[in-house]
């Protein structure tokens, strides 16, 4: 794969997997535009972690509108004509909604999703970061961001399983599945080069990177 020719790359994975850090690193390496989540701008997120049933719907709707606006601006401005590295897929909004919302809320959410979700170009490449729940929790506890520290083990396990099911069936783009537990793409130049080499060796379809 000619990595430098990819116009739209997505890095995905559950909280604590390191997707935002890797997206930034790849964007810098490829001289691309980073398209990053902004959880700190969601006023309901901290409340959601303390009281999920009460705040799940406004949290999900806020994220949907924020991300739809971000992507719509890129599409309208034709910024996808230049390289873009994102740390989320809009598709995963339904994944979170199905995990957190009641049946009635989910029906409402899906109707709004169909109205507000923009048509997004298909990624040239998707990198899915996965790791054991214990590793994800350890990473979240070391973050300066206080929101991640409130994520419970049960919710994180459900989230990881939802991601696994989603990407098990994902076939829309070339997909690299990475076990990020023993790889440090931000602080280890060697690990980052291993990733780049693996990406350049891809021939489409689905491949794996796992360091024992």
Q: What is the DSSP string of 103-163?
A: HHHHHHHHHHHHHHPPPPPPPSEEEEEE--HHHHHHHHHT-S-TTGGG--HHHHHHHHHHH
Q: What would the pLDDT profile of 2-39 be if each residue is shown by its tens digit?
A: 888 898 999 999 999 999 999 999 999 999 999 999 88
Q: Which of 162, 164, 173, 182 is nearest to 10 (CA)?
A: 173
Phi, psi values for residue 35, rounded to 5° = -120, 100
pTM attached to this predicted model: 0.92
Q: Supply the pLDDT for residue 99.
A: 93
Q: Supply the pLDDT for residue 30.
A: 93
Distances (CA, A) of 194 to 82, 122, 191: 25, 25, 5
Q: Which of 58, 56, 84, 57 is nearest to 70 (CA)?
A: 84
E strands, the chain, where? Answer: 8-12, 33-35, 84-86, 125-130, 175-179, 206-209
Report whether pLDDT(109) > 70.
Answer: yes
Q: Supply the pLDDT for residue 145.
A: 61
Q: Supply the pLDDT for residue 208.
A: 95
Q: Supply the pLDDT for residue 79.
A: 57
Q: What would the pLDDT profile of 148-205 be if each residue is shown by its tens digit?
A: 556 778 889 999 999 999 999 999 999 999 999 989 998 999 999 999 999 999 988 9
Of 30-44, 63-77, 112-126, 183-197, the poorest mean pLDDT is in 63-77
CB-count burial class (<10 Å; 0-12, 13-18, 19+) for 66:
middle
Indicate if the alpha-carbon torsion angle 8, 191, 140, 146 is positive or negative. negative
Phi, psi values for residue 181, rounded to 5° = -65, -35
Kindly list the strands in the beta sheet with 206-209, ordered across the sheet, starting from the edge strand earlier in the chain: 33-35, 84-86, 8-12, 125-130, 175-179, 206-209
Whole-angstrom Cα distance, residue 107 to residue 105? 5
Q: Supply the pLDDT for residue 69.
A: 86
């Amino acid at each position: 794969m000619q990595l430098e020719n990819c116009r739209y790359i997505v890095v995905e994975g559950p909280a604590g997997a390191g997707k935002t850090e890797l997206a930034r690193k790849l964007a810098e390496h490829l001289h691309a535009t980073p398209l990053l989540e902004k959880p700190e701008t969601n006023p309901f997120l901290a409340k959601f972690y303390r009281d999920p049933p009460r705040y799940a719907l406004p949290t999900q709707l806020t994220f949907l509108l924020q991300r739809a606006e971000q992507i719509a601006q890129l599409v309208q401005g034709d910024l996808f004509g230049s390289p873009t590295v994102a740390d989320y897929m809009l598709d995963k909004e339904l994944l979170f909604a199905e995990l957190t919302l009641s049946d009635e809320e989910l029906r409402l959410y899906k109707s709004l999703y169909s109205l507000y979700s923009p048509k997004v170009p298909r990624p040239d490449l998707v990198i899915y970061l996965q790791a054991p729940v214990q590793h994800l929790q350890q990473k979240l506890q070391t973050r300066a961001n206080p929101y991640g520290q409130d994520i419970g083990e049960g919710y994180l396990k459900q989230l990881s399983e939802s991601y696994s099911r989603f990407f098990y069936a994902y076939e829309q783009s070339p997909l690299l599945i990475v076990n990020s537990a023993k790889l440090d793409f931000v602080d280890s130049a060697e690990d980052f080069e291993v990733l780049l080499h693996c990406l350049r060796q891809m021939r489409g379809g689905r491949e794996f990177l796992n360091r024992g």
